[in-house]
């Protein structure tokens, strides 16, 4: 009986990291979906709940400045009657640890229609969790490369980043 308990405990401990990683991925996708919902609605306050801004704050940006810049971006899209036609999340990568945080890459494809032109981009969110993958906040990876990724992930090991591209605008039929 004692051997069985020991074996059972050892088996549970060996699968716990896999279960925790699966939970972290599920949680990241849940929170990324919440962010995309806010972005589709062009809702500044909602989006800010899901955006990771500590890297920008460390560079001297104040939260009020970030709020104002995001609000201007959303208001400009509204002004030209822009709307998100599509905002799809891809399969999340595996979470990885560094700097006392967990990180994850979640690719996305977004298509917006602005003044009769369709704009598409393929990029990724950089998920950052400060509570072992329970909750996630995100940075848009569209502007990041191997040269500057360490502003978000200081311990990044130099592995390949997910693809990103901005397609030229196309006219609606």
Q: 20-68 pLDDT, tens per residue?
A: 667 999 999 999 999 999 999 999 999 999 999 998 888 898 989 989 9
Q: What is the model's pTM?
A: 0.82
All domains in the chain, ordered by first residue: 18-171 (3.10.450)
Q: 77-130 pLDDT, tens per residue?
A: 999 999 999 999 999 999 999 999 999 999 999 999 998 899 999 999 999 999
If one compares 17 and 72, the residue with the highest pLDDT of the two is 72
Band of residue 172 on the pLDDT scale cut at 50, 70, 90: low
Report the greatest alpha carbon distance in the chain: 72
Q: 141-166 pLDDT, tens per residue?
A: 988 888 999 999 999 987 888 877 77
């Amino acid at each position: 009986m004692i051997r069985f308990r020991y074996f059972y405990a050892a088996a549970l401990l060996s699968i716990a990291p896999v279960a925790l990683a699966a939970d972290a991925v599920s949680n990241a996708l849940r929170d990324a979906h919440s962010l995309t919902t806010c972005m589709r609605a062009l809702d500044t306050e909602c989006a800010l709940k899901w955006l990771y801004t500590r890297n920008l704050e460390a560079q001297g940006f104040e939260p009020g400045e970030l709020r104002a810049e995001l609000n201007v971006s959303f208001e400009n899209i509204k002004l030209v009657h822009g709307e998100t036609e599509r905002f799809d999340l891809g399969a999340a990568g595996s979470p990885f640890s560094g700097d006392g945080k967990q990180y994850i890459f979640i690719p996305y494809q977004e298509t917006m229609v602005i003044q009769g032109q369709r704009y598409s981009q393929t990029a990724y969110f950089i998920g950052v969790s400060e509570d072992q993958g329970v909750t996630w906040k995100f940075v848009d990876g569209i502007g990041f490369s191997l040269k500057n990724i360490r502003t978000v992930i200081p311990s990044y090991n130099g592995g390949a980043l997910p693809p990103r591209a901005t397609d030229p605008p196309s006219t609606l039929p």
